[in-house]
Structure 1
């Protein structure tokens, strides 16, 4: 879809998506790297919210609210809620968790709309070790809510290792639907159409053959 290509264009322009030699948390050496932390201006976060909103509406998934895991998921949830209202007139509430439970004032481990018995979409950037997403699943299930889906920016589509769960492995483990804005296949298709960037394809395919699912 055009908005997938637009997202890749945007990521390259902001240097959030790079090619080279990168050591990942998993210990693997990757020929590409995505750093959503570089998408940090007002214009950037508006765009990110719109990409998620497009993907959510396109998925036709039924849901009641958004959940953003601390910390990167917090601005994503806020921006997506704004985009859904601005572009689709969907007034969707959101919630996010605290890293540490508050013991004074309003107390609790969540901020925002109460999630009890709601159908939740979890929003995150990229799943690596799966720690944040598992924490979110646990929080949501304990509140008696249902997880409609998990949305991320990039699906690297890699094999799991020890306690490392990439998207499809997490799906198999928890039976939750995972939707990504783009996948490694979308990235390779994009490179095929770019004369300057297509030189990176052999390394991506080699890496994909070694670690891909």
Structure 2
């Protein structure tokens, strides 16, 4: 599992999805790294990404019957992960939502398989947790059970202003609120291990910045 996490970090760097430098986050913080899953925009790297999602989900031991991808990034993530799972011998249905209800044809906001059984929500990251909350509501409204959230990278980051940071990260808040696990392919600790391992000498100058950022904003778990 540790190797899979490090492989994912290296893959994200190679794909240009994980970058180092100075980036302003939605919270207005200056971050030494930036993860943009929207740059998994080619067939080959999306297929490889789906392999990481699928293997992480199977390794977690979580029981699940289907996948759900919240619009918009979650749509391709859920569908490609379903393909990857099928290739690993686990054929499961998937569904996703549209932002606006369709008033013709099949109608409604849910596209794909009927929401039923234990559903895993697949997204890229959890920032404010809005898409997860909306997904949970839709899944429960359909009579199904949200069983877990699967994301690519857990920033392990507390929210709030510098003088009033929350105790928990957004991921921890989802876990506490809905009493369900959040599974990540990798997290900030794995990123720091990657930078400290010596296998990314070209980014060595950012190791201290990532360490300081983690010390200032990072959650304890």
Q: Does 1:8 align with 2:4?
A: no
Distance 1:112 1:20 in 2: 40
CA distance in 2, matches of 1:150, 1:110: 18
TM-score by length of 2: 0.91
TM-score scaled to structure 1, two decimals? 0.94
Equivalent position of 1:211 in the other structure: 217
1:158 matched residue in structure 2:
157
Whole-angstrom CA distance in 2 between matches of 1:139 and 1:26: 27
Mapped contact 2:68–2:96 kept (Cα < 8 A) = yes
Structure number with higher relative contact order (C-alpha < 8 Å, ≥ 6 residues apart): 2
Matches of 1:165 and 1:142, distance apart in 2: 27
Runs (5+) with no aligned partner, structure 1 = none
- Establish whether residue 78 from structure 1 lines up as the match of residue 84 from structure 2: no
Deviations 1:166-200 (A, max 9, x none): 21122122222101000000011111112332321
Instruction: Check conservation: 1:7, 1:51, Cα contact below 8 A.
Output: yes
**Structure 1 residue ranges, 4+ long, deviating more than 4 angstroms after superposition:** 162-165
Paired residues, number:
211
Aligned equivalents of 2:5 and 2:109: distance in 1?
A: 34
What are the within-5 Å matches in structure 2 for residues 121-160 of structure 1?
A: 121-160=120-159
Matches within 5 A, 1:41-190: 41-86=42-87, 88-116=88-116, 118-161=117-160, 166-190=170-194
